[in-house]
Amino acid sequence: MHTGEYGWVTEHGETIHLKDDDCPVSSAIMKGDRKARQVHIETAREEGYQICRHCWKEFQEDLGELMGGSLEESD
Ligand SMILES: [Zn+2]
């Protein structure tokens, strides 16, 4: 699960990466192997950036958890 409203765009990159080490790019950024600038996810999307495919999957899952919760875990 990613954390917060902020993600990263790598140097010369055109995709947003979330702060989730399931994505190999995000993992590299966290380790300091890749340079990236921090962006506000929604703002960057309005500017035309797209969330990387790897991160998007996580993002959707997180939204699902926020909106609907888990049926399996309901009382
Ligand atoms: Zn990514």
Strand partners, 16: 9, 51
Confidence of residue 2 (pLDDT cuts 50, 70, 90): low
| Dihedral angle of Cα 38, 11, 15, 57, to the nearest 10 degrees | -70
Query: What distances in angstroms separate CA 12 from CA 16, 34, 44, 60, 64, one per listed residue?
Result: 11, 11, 14, 25, 31
* The predicted structure's pLDDT at residue 4: 76
CA 23 to ligand 1 center in whole angstroms: 5
Find the 46 Cα to ligand 1 centroid distance in Å: 18
So what's the pLDDT on residue 74? 47
50-51 and 36-40 strand pairing: unpaired
Q: Computed from CA positions of residues 46, 40, 67, 26, in that sequence, does the dihedral angle turn out positive or negative? A: positive
* pLDDT score recorded for residue 3: 60
Q: State in Å: Cα 61 to ligand 1 middle.
A: 14
Distance (Å) from CA 24 to ligand 1 centroid: 7
The pLDDT of residue 39 is: 96
Q: Are 6 and 36 in contact (CB under 8 A)?
A: no
The predicted-structure confidence for 17-40, as pLDDT tens digits, reads as follows 999 888 999 999 999 999 999 999
